Structure 1
């Protein structure tokens, strides 16, 4: 309505300038105009948006004398990054022969993997002022490529000092360069290693299939020996190791393991089992529970009282587990939940559909999982062909199951086209990402549930899929829910990637920690509110 009024006023003004007699036009256009709030303002215009003062002195003074709105303290602190931003980029910097990984949550340590991927290298970050004398005489407006070779060779050692080199992987295993989990206090880091199984001798059949839920491996998803290690960043000591022989755990991007506070969950895709550990204050793994064939730790005793051979060990015992006719405890709880939901529906159609798809439901396999809190798991079920990577079609049907580990109850089940789950994901995205507000290093990832600009980006992405060829609303929901479950510690909380502070091209830079293709030109970043000047460049 405001835009229409402004447009009408401009036309009226032009008519008055072009003709001396505009009585007829004036009466027509004024008849369509809504009544104005003020008779003095005959030609209203859009009220310009008020932009807050960006001066750092003004902000410091405002922080000193003003209290601000309740709950806005952390945002006001992050706003100072608009005044303190990178203004120089050095490219082709020499580094030690290692694979750089990431900073610890508190920013004090930097973790890297050795070139042979058997050791963990821990560096101490000295701060941004460490190379001040090297760059003192260099013009910040010039390109970093003109730096001398001597300066490039010394930059890394100025910013990072090597604290410890810890030998972690052994027995032919190699550390996964995309797997690392930090505890909330920044004291320990959990890394994973794997080794391919030798062709000769091949593992025993019943070591591969330890229960009736085990999947069939194939060349696209080979079996390996895995180990999880926990290392003390302060002392460089290898504190504890847990081994998983002849198994399949997705270590890349932390997809197969999840750390929430001091609870670590590990998903064995091959054995369809979730191992839950507690990371103690001393840096050791403490067994908590194993979810899969049984949900309670004493279920085996209950079963043994009825079926004495259930506790048999050795190859014969494994063969009986593989040929076991009973449904695993976790799968049984899923089927019971779906049956009770069909009963609550009250219609015969719902029960018929349950019986119709019963065999397909029994064949579902766990693919991914994440911890929602200390007691609840979000598990993604899909067909075995998808789990073993025989089929890579993302449109395959799947289910999301919310499971309570303490009460062993299935809380909810959603399809991958559920509008209800999408609404929960959009409104409570930070809870799925587990932003560590409870830790010492407070993190604020830029998400659609806490940032209007990120919400606009997600809506544009959703509208693009809806309006695309072979798209639609269902396809958009399926694509958005394909992000679930979210891998642990996979989103950056850097304020320079906060869309409420800085504006940049999200096609080249993302808060999600995934490799991105390098562009031919630097990525420009500007203030979100002003858009009038360049803040800094990503090279």
Structure 2
């Protein structure tokens, strides 16, 4: 009887055989030469390490996608420092006598000079103004590696308390607390080739999670920014070194909705509105139609009764996180206000919903609860679509969103 399990064929690991195969066979299918090259470097291991290297007084961040630049934040967190990477052979002469472990002077020289050999300071761009400080864990590169988006924030002093209608701009605005204080935010677009600040966008009296780019997402040239305080998703396009305003999703879903609404209710404060905002209304309608369809197909009204029973809970959900799946699809995470404002840290005890929203047609395409098996299946089998990806010559290289 033939065995059901077929062991996976392991390619040869010998570096000589791999070199021979790479030279003779090249690649079998178009677009796979990147992957073959990466597999080859699995056999290349470093045989020398330099630790405790002296560096300039700054916070080192990361390389640009093309590997030509390295960015860092100044010690006072007000400037962006752009370094040029000189290549792996830049310190060859410095390391030629490094195997002599007894030569203390040579070891000291290597540690003190090796950083400046590999990295040359190209630009120092002053971006943060006043009391603002750059967030060291916030940086997004454009697809071509020319521009980088960084964010800064400044605390709002207690003696300068914002106006009530600056805090509550619509009826979905959350209530701030000590765990989630309001701040003034600024996004900066920096040109790495010219070393200049190209454009900025300010968000006053707001709450945006800049750390690990949680409140920002860049897909190709489309940038999405989630305002947790005002429950609005700002959509921008990066065009010729500028932030181009595309739309705001939350209270309204289309660009001209605000114009038509104000023509009917010109003087009404948004915070005092009794109606449900556009995005939340679409979510509730989707949940109702799904419950109604299940009740009709099963001839059992239980699902529809559940919707009515939990209606207030659905209506009180707030946007917590989001990301772009492509140019038009948004994946939005909804949770209770206590979780969104960090008043509660017990994440698993409260329900959360993942909503797939089409920005172009303003439709809710799917809603999944955080315990959904279908969502788990999608994430396990299509995890690359849930991560940042750089697209070069039709080949997708995925990376962690953090």
> TM-score, normalization: structure 2?
0.92
Equivalent residue runs for 1:43-82 within 5 Å: 52-56=12-16, 58-70=17-29, 72-82=32-42
Q: Deviations over 1:476-504 (max 9, x none)?
A: xxxxxxxxxxxxx645xxxxxxxxxxxxx
Judged with a 3 Å threshold, the aligned counterparts in structure 2 of structure 1 residues 348 and 53 are, in CA distance, closer, same or farther, namely closer
- The 8 Å contact of residues 90 and 144 in structure 1, kept in 2 or not, is answered as no
Change (3 A) 1:360 1:50: closer
Q: Is the 8 A contact 1:253 1:490 kept in 2?
A: no
**1:289 partner SS:** strand
Partner of 1:419: 373
1:232-278 CA-to-partner distances (Å, cap 9, x unmatched) read 00111100000000000000000001000000000000000000000
Alignment pair present for 1:306 and 2:259? no
Deviations 1:202-222 (A, max 9, x none): 111110001000000111100
Is the 8 Å Cα contact of residues 208 and 215 (structure 2) preserved in structure 1?
Answer: yes
**Residues 354-398 of structure 1: per-residue CA shift (max 9 Å, x gap):** 110000111000000000000000000000000000001121210
Q: How does 1:45-194 map to 2 (within 5 A)?
A: 52-56=12-16, 58-70=17-29, 72-139=32-99, 148-194=107-153
Q: Are 2:255 and 1:297 equivalent residues in the alignment?
A: yes
State how 1:8-19 maps to structure 2 within 5 Å. none
Answer yes or no: is the 8 Å Cα contact 2:149–2:188 preserved in 1: yes
Q: Which residue of 2 aligns with 1:325?
A: 274
1:60: Cα distance to partner?
3.3
Report the equivalent of 2:291. Answer: 342
Rounded to whole Å, the distance in 1 between the matches of 2:80 and 2:194 is 12
- Is the contact between residue 59 and residue 72 of structure 2 (CA under 8 Å) also seen in structure 1? yes
Higher strand share: 2
- Superposition deviation, residue 410 in structure 1: 0.3
Q: Any unmatched runs of 5+ in structure 2? A: none
Change (3 A) 1:274 1:145: farther
Q: How does 1:346-495 map to 2 (within 5 A)?
A: 346=296, 347-395=300-348, 396-436=350-390, 438-439=391-392, 444-445=397-398, 490=400
Aligned residue for 1:402, secondary structure, equals strand
Does the Cα contact within 8 Å between 1:188 and 1:232 map onto a contact in 2? Answer: yes
Count of residues paired in the alignment: 394
| 1:50 CA displacement | 6.0
User: 2:154 — aligned with what?
Assistant: 195
Which structure's CA Rg is the greater one? Answer: 1
Q: Within 5 A, what are the aligned runs for 1:518-533?
A: none
CA distance in 2, matches of 1:143, 1:321: 73
Conserved in 2, the CA contact under 8 Å of 1:105 and 1:441?
no
**Larger deviation: 412-421 or 200-209?**
200-209
The aligned counterpart of 2:227 is 268
SS in 2 for 1:386: helix
Shift of 1:88: 1.3
